[in-house]
Structure 1
Amino acid sequence: MEQEVVRLRQAHPRWGGRKIRRRLQDLGFEAVPQASTVTDILHRHNLILPADSAMSQPWKRFEHEQPNVLWQMDFKGHFETLEKERCSPLTVLDDHSRFSILLRACGPTDTATVQTGLREAFGHYGLPLRINTDNGSPWGAPGSPGQLTELAVWLIRLGIRISYSRPYHPQTNGKDERFHRTLKAEVLNGRSFATQQHVQQELDRWRTVYNCERPHEAIGMDTPISRYRPSPRAYPSILPEPEYGPDDVVLRVKANGQLRFEGQHLRVSKALYG
């Protein structure tokens, strides 16, 4: 048993006693020792550093009761590959299960890049009810607070609510922020990657471990995949047209965001052009 503890720690250097104990149970081992005993084994083999203990505090946050009620989305801070490619991982996380919906190595961080990633995610897992992001580009319009962006309009037409973290309060998107910390600790720290393709290979490998093998403390040491199921709301092949009520006044918006209503010239988001 001690050899298995050491083997798992060497394979996953950031896993502590509780995660290793649960993984041994999931693998079918009998008479698995308590987490404290597993931790003692790690200490005995000099496999725990002071920094590991400092990061072991549990992360507690409100969570939704069902998967796909809320997804959290953001870009991880960028870094360069050895070929000087800029890489910013796009992450999408299910709030209830902590299941990694999307983990994609990206160069640009624009609307088209996000839409490409989300189309892939929607095709595999269906549509969530709501997506939460921060207020920066391309999610929000930092220069025009309250204005809808092209990305927001696209999501609304798909029947997805979009919400934004409070300014200067990134903890509103806390589960995805915590996911970024784990990604950094278990994949990115102290490593160099030759190309963006190399990054994606490592992200794909780790995402499988994270979703299917790694016990998650915030969900009772279950694995994210054990709590996740795809959404029954399928991604439509054709973007639905907006629906209007019988008493709604439909106005045409110019490319510069201007419209005319009751003799007045008004300006709205350019994303509403049409």
Structure 2
Amino acid sequence: MPWKTTTTMEQKIEFICEWRTGKYTITELSKSFGISRPTAYKLIQRFENQGYEGLKEQSRVPGKHPNATSENIVKSIIKLKEKHKLWGAKKIRILLFKEFTEQQIPSVVTVHNILRKNGLVSPQKRMRRVKPVFPIFDPKSCNEVWSADYKGKFLMGNKIYCHPLTIADSKSRFLFTAKGHYKETLKAAKAEFTKVFRTYGIPKQIHTDNGSPFGSVRAIQRYTQLSYWFIELGITPVFSDPAHPEQNGRHERMHRDLKAACAKPSAYDLKAQQRRLNHFVKEYNTIRPHEALEMKTPADIHDFSCRPFPEKISNFDYDTNLKVLKVTKSGAIRWKSYYWVYLTAALKGKYVGIQELGNGIWKVYYRNVFLGFFDQRNLRKKQQATRLETNLV
């Protein structure tokens, strides 16, 4: 029959049992079990303080570490994370500078480890990197390019859709507004743009996608009625290529944060939803550090535009070398009494300028913006409109 093997824990229990009989001295027990007298006294002390639980193997990690993060900083990190559940270690760390000195604040890795240890970090899905598609609109100063879009609609608690209109400066990432609408209409968008323009001034360009009411791939130069209003204000509309939202990636990234903060879950009705959107705008502009801005906030970077909003749109004087024609209610201009060149219904009642290039080719402008060409040699059928071309073949 083989010898039984005993574990360390079993030997400790046997040692205590022999000691409790009182028949043996500490020296005799130590010699019998092959341990030192200090070890024997340590086992007896643990047993007296904690019972048999104290005989289990103890952690060898030191109770205190000279470089350990102080308890009050750990509590502040946890408190900030609970307040800003969607923020990571980098942004949480920046907020610590408001309470502690630079020497006291731990590194980003340490902040992340503290959050992970307390179960406040959830693994994120790895994002697929998309190769950049040109053109990419990368302004060099504030108010050079603004971005605008309707973030994807989502249902509120009352089962009605909310369509948030967002307008932001592409350089500073300053979010001017996130306005909830019931529908994506020209009237609603124009009213909110007017409000923003009166407060912050107007930019040089506005970058949007090709969705209504901003643009249309079927229209001349993709311009819509809203685009022509921008042109009248002295703003140039620019568009992402169709099916390439990544060309306005910084605005789409902001939409991801807005959706997580305001639509998961959404509020009951539009009034309550707007309060959430307003809170997000304030936090995004003044509290949330932005990595692309060297961990500053958009409000720290943004400057007001020096171009004020014109309350009344002034008339435009075309050059004397251009013929000025009025766009009819059908969206076309009459050419030589009985021919028609169709432009767009968005310009009805407005005046365009046309310039001859030679050989019957004419260029068409609205104010200082080029729209397209038409060839008068192709105007063969009377009372039938010919569409404007954007390129000469």
TM category, shorter: over 0.9
Aligned counterpart, 2:199: 124
Partners of 1:118 and 1:99 lie apart in 2 by: 15
Contact 2:329 2:345 in 1 (8 A): yes
Structure 2 equivalent of residue 5 of structure 1: 77
8 Å CA contact 1:71–1:92 kept in 2: the answer is yes
Establish whether residue 29 from structure 1 lines up as the match of residue 100 from structure 2: yes
1:38-72 alpha-carbon deviations (Å, 9 max, x no partner): 10110111000012x747x9xx9863221110011
Question: 1:212 corresponds to which residue?
Answer: 286
- Residues 72 and 175 of structure 1 are in contact (CA less than 8 Å); yes or no, is this contact kept in structure 2? no
In 2, distance between residues paired with 1:40 and 1:145?
Answer: 55
Give yes or no for contact 2:137–2:248 (8 Å, CA) kept in 1: no
Structure 2 distance, partners of 1:66, 1:147, is 26
1:66 is aligned to 141
TM-score by structure 2 length?
0.65
Aligned twin of 1:193: 267
What is the identity, as a one-letter code, of the residue corresponding to 2:105?
Answer: V
TM-score, normalised to structure 1's length? 0.93
The structure showing larger relative contact order (alpha-carbon pairs under 8 Å, at least 6 residues apart) is: 1
- 1:260 paired residue among 321, 334, 339: 334
Counterpart residue type for residue 29 of structure 1: F
Which of 163, 168, 182 is 2:238 aligned to? 163
Q: Which residue of 2 aligns with 1:14?
A: 86
Task: Report the more deviating stretch, 14-23 or 256-265.
Answer: 256-265
Mapped partners of 1:227, 1:132: distance in 2? 20
1:84 lines up with 2:162 in the alignment: no
* In the alignment, structure 1 residue 237 sits paired with structure 2 residue 311: yes
Question: Aligned partner of 1:240: which letter?
Answer: S
Contact kept in structure 1, 2:137 and 2:247, CA below 8 Å: no
What does residue range 99-118 of structure 1 map to in structure 2 within 5 Å? 99-118=174-193
Segments ≥4 residues shifted beyond 4 Å: none
Q: For residues 169 and 44 of structure 1, what CA distance do their matches in structure 2 show? A: 40
The 2-side partners of 1:192 and 1:272 are apart by 39
Deviations 1:66-117 (A, max 9, x none): 1110011100111122222220100111111111011111111011111011
RMSD: 1.8
Q: What do residues 136-155 of structure 1 show as CA deviations (whole Å, max 9, x unaligned)? A: 21111233352531101100
Q: What is the match of residue 224 of structure 2?
A: 149
After TM superposition, the structure 1 stretch with the greater mean CA deviation from structure 2, 216-225 or 79-88, is 79-88
Separation in 1, partners of 2:316, 2:137: 33
How far has the Cα of 1:186 moved from its partner?
2.7
Return the alpha-carbon distance in structure 1 between the equivalents of residues 276 and 269 of structure 2: 11
Contact 1:13–1:186 (CA<8 Å) still a contact in 2?
no
Q: What secondary structure, in the 3-state scheme, does the structure 1 residue paired with 2:79 have? A: helix
95-104 vs 147-156, greater mean Cα deviation: 147-156
The aligned amino acid for 1:224 is P
Instruction: Find the aligned partners of 2:114 and 2:266 in 1 and give their Cα distance.
Output: 31
Select which of 102, 105, 115 maps to 1:42: 115
- For residues 211-252 of structure 1, the C-alpha deviation after alignment (integer angstroms, 9 at most, x for no partner) is 000001121111010010110101112122223122221101
| 1: CA distance, partners of 2:258 / 2:145 | 21
Which residue type is aligned with residue 84 of structure 2? H
Q: Percent identity?
A: 34
Contact 1:126 1:232 in 2 (8 A): yes
Q: Which runs of 5+ in 2 are unaligned?
A: 1-72, 350-393
SS of 2:207's equivalent?
Answer: strand
Change beyond 3 A, Cα 1:257–1:169: same
The code of the aligned residue for 1:151 comes to L
The aligned amino acid for 1:237 is E
Opposite residue 89 of structure 1, the aligned amino acid is P
Shift of 1:261: 2.4
